[in-house]
Amino acid sequence: MKNKYLISFFILLSVFSFSYFYTDKTNINEEILSGNSFTNIMPYPDFNTPGVYAGEYYLGYINKPYWIILGKYVTDWSYFERGLYLSDSLPYVEGMTMGYDYNSVKIISGIYGFDPVMTEKEFEIQSNPAIDQNSDRRFLYGVGFTDKGYAFPSKVFAIHRIEFNFFKKITLSLNEINLIGGKLPDIVDINPLGILHNTFGEGYSNTILGLDLNIVPFRGFSVYGQFAMDDYVVPATEAGAINYKPTSFAYAGGIKNVYKINEFIISPKFEYYKIYTWMYNRWQKLLKFTGIYNGIEYPMGFDYGNDMEGYLIGIDINHKKFNYKFIFESYLKGEIDLSTPYDDPRKPDYEQWPGPYGNTRKFIKLSFLFGNN
């Protein structure tokens, strides 16, 4: 009997040790070096290693074309150093990512929960059913229920993607992000097949449309871009809306060269970023694209928040045993940040929506990162 349990233990251990998830972007550079375009999602399964995988705080399962990962882990959905709608600016996420991978077409979704902590003032704003003029509970304010807005302590981030790969050279993905706050999400909100459905404007949801593109025209070279749209208003035809939800875009473009010297994969890159003034923001704390970790508020997208424009120059050096990263960044930062109230009197100034707004300041950062594999 003892030997039976021992054999079962080693079988279980071998299964858990066999499967593998990519947890950094090294594999993307390796694919570019080979002349191929690969998905930008991390973690992502290695389908050559089917089975169950146990990370430090998560479990994964791979059985092509299906895969799933569940628990607490770092995630990133971007080719960029600073992603625009879901990036590793967050220390980690807690939830589930799953996908269906059929060669040139992928369907992927993620559901993550965030701490719904609010100050007393933020809870008061969240409880106001009239704070969002399109809320389906706005009428309650008019009949005396001034605190019946969506204020249930819940904040859930749901993302859905359909991704296409053409000739192994071009990757194009369409993404919808739906942030559900103030109520428990239902199947409509988190349906993993609900690509580009819309719950915008009901008082408990904030959505972003995301586009990703990567082109590898030849071995060792990549041109890539990302676009995120929170809201879009045409001032000439929607004059009454300029004080409601202003146009909020974020976009980035980059180029990368990847080459190999001995056992080192080296990839210098240049990336440009533009984040509109009111991107990621909202009246309600539970509908703002930020996460709270140990009392610190982090953007879910671009690491430094909104109202910025600038560029990044970097170089990644990857080895089987370790990784180096050198980064220089230069940005112009406007007056508005994610702590600026969404009813700020500067918001209707539609000519300044692209930003950076008002009195700007230069923001420069130099980084060096080192990690063992």
Q: What is the largest CA-CA distance in the chain?
A: 79
Lowest mean per-residue pLDDT among 201-210, 223-232, 285-294: 201-210
> Per-residue pLDDT tens for 44-94?
999 988 899 888 899 999 999 999 999 999 999 999 999 999 999 999 999
Q: What is the mean pLDDT of residues 220-241?
A: 81
The pLDDT assigned to 138 comes to 63
Beta bridge partners of 223: 215, 255
d(CA 198, CA 342): 22
| Whether the predicted pLDDT of 208 surpasses 90 | yes
Backbone CA torsion sign across 338, 339, 341, 344: negative
Which residue did the predictor score with more confidence, 177 or 143? 177
What token pair was written down for 229?
A: 């749209």
Share of the chain above pLDDT 90, in %: 66
- Of 330, 176, 350, give the one whose Cα is nearest residue 277: 350
List, for residues 130-172, the tens digit of each pLDDT value. 777 667 666 565 555 556 778 899 999 999 999 999 999 999 9
pLDDT digits (tens, 9 = 90+) for 88-128: 999 999 999 999 998 899 999 999 999 999 999 999 989 88
> Is the predicted pLDDT of residue 197 greater than 60, yes or no?
no
- Rounded CA-CA distance 264/145 in Å is 64
Q: Using the predicted structure, report yes or no on whether residue 202 has a pLDDT greater than 80.
A: no
Band the pLDDT of 201: cuts 50, 70, 90: very low
Q: What pLDDT shows up at residue 144?
A: 59
Between 270 and 144, the higher pLDDT residue:
270
Tell me how many domains the chain contains: 1
Range of the domain at 212: 2-372
pTM: 0.89
pLDDT at 17: 45
Given a contact cutoff of 8 angstroms between Cβ atoms, the answer to whether 29 and 258 are in contact is yes
Rounded CA-CA distance 78/210 in Å is 10
Report the pLDDT value the prediction gives residue 241, as an integer from 0 to 100.
62
Neighbours of 144 (CB within 10 A): 7
Q: Tell me: pLDDT of 192 over 50.
A: yes
Residue 244's pLDDT band (cuts 50, 70, 90): confident
C-alpha angle 148/299/128, rounded to 5°?
10
* 98 closest CA partner among 88, 106, 110: 110
Whole-number pLDDT of residue 249: 96
Give the CATH number for residue 216: 2.40.160
Confidence band for 194, pLDDT divided at 50, 70 and 90:
low
Spell out the residues 6+ positions from residue 355 whose beta carbon is closer than 8 angstroms to its own. 275, 276, 277, 306, 307, 308, 309, 334, 336
Dist. CA 248–CA 306, nearest whole Å: 10
State yes or no: pLDDT of 12 exceeds 50.
no
Q: What's at 114, amino acid-wise?
A: F
Highest-confidence segment of 128-132, 236-240, 290-294: 290-294
